[in-house]
């Protein structure tokens, strides 16, 4: 059974090589100058599991960085802290599905900060899942592949609904355009007949015809 699961894991991993299209990953380390703010924006999909990790390096005198994490479109931030001196780890499920904005403000001195933003299957720590669920590495890899497939399937459904709405709008627009064209043609025909009758009557009254 272990061999079969291993083969399934390899096959699933090869089939779902498109993970980058349906999962996000941002991992940067940068220097923020004193009292300056750095904001990072990462696109995320609706109902997608997202994990953010922030680490401030070489904090002096317990004066760390100010953190604000907010999902675009939300009224309130997901997480706020005025003095982060250690490692921060935040996980949440996206509600609006636009983007997540992570802002970091440096203290009165320059400071290096590392930020990692992961979404989708990339955001899940499968080593922890394996330990908590008593899964072996092959099963954990299979679970990762299943999550990738679920994300792909959800993206396909969302795309199909979007295409259906677009097609309906296009059909409605075509229907309106057709009605307008028919009405315009009828108007031209009626106007032409009226002009013919008018000029015929006019010339008859002048005894031209």
Question: What CATH number has the domain bearing residue 33?
Answer: 2.60.120.510
Reference 70, options 52, 47, 89; nearest CA is 52
Higher pLDDT, 149 or 166: 166
Q: How confident is the model at residue 64 (pLDDT cuts 50, 70, 90)?
A: very high
pLDDT at residue 69 tops 70 = yes
User: Bigger pLDDT: 182 or 68?
Assistant: 68
Return the half-sphere exposure (C-beta side, CA atoms, 13 A cut-off) of residue 194.
6
* Domain around 128: 2-160
Mean pLDDT calculated for residue range 5-10: 42
When pLDDT is averaged across residues 148-174 and rounded to a whole number, the result is 70
Q: Tell me, yes or no, whether 147 lies in a domain.
A: yes
Q: Say if residue 72's pLDDT is above 60.
A: yes
pLDDT above 70 covers a percentage of the chain that reads 65
Dihedral class, residue 130 (left if φ above 0, else alpha if ψ from -120 to 50, else beta):
alpha
Beta bridge partners of 81: 67
pTM score, two decimals? 0.51
pLDDT band for 142, please (50, 70, 90 cuts). Answer: low
In a domain, 176, yes or no: no
Higher pLDDT, 44 or 198: 44
- List pLDDT tens digits, range 95-109: 887 889 999 999 999
- Residue 188: inside a domain, yes or no? no
Q: Is the pLDDT of residue 126 over 80?
A: no
- Work out the pLDDT band at 12, boundaries 50, 70, 90: very low
Report the DSSP pairing between strands 65-71 and 49-56.
Answer: unpaired
Q: What is the pLDDT of residue 129?
A: 43
Residue 179 lies in a domain: no
Count of the separate structural domains present in the chain? 1
Looking at the domain assignment, is residue 196 inside a domain?
A: no
Residue at token pair 């220097």: 31
Is the model's pLDDT at 7 over the cut of 80? no
């Amino acid at each position: 059974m272990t061999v079969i699961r291993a083969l399934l894991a390899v096959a699933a991993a090869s089939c779902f090589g498109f993970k980058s299209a349906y999962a996000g990953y941002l991992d940067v380390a940068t220097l923020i100058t004193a009292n300056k703010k750095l904001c990072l924006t990462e696109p995320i999909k609706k109902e997608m599991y997202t994990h953010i990790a922030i680490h401030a390096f070489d904090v002096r005198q317990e004066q760390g960085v100010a953190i604000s994490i907010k999902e675009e479109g939300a009224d309130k931030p997901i997480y706020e802290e005025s003095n982060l001196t250690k490692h921060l780890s935040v996980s949440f499920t996206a509600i609006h599905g636009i983007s997540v904005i992570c802002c970091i403000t440096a203290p009165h001195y320059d400071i290096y900060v590392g930020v990692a933003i992961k979404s989708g299957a990339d955001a899940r720590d499968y080593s922890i899942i394996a330990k908590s669920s008593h899964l072996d590495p092959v099963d954990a890899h299979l679970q990762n592949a299943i999550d990738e497939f679920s994300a792909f399937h959800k993206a396909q459904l969302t795309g199909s609904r979007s295409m259906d709405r677009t097609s309906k709008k296009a059909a409605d627009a075509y229907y309106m355009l057709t009605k307008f064209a028919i009405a315009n043609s009828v108007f031209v025909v009626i106007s032409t007949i009226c002009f013919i009758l008018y000029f015929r009557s006019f010339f008859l009254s002048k005894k031209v015809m």
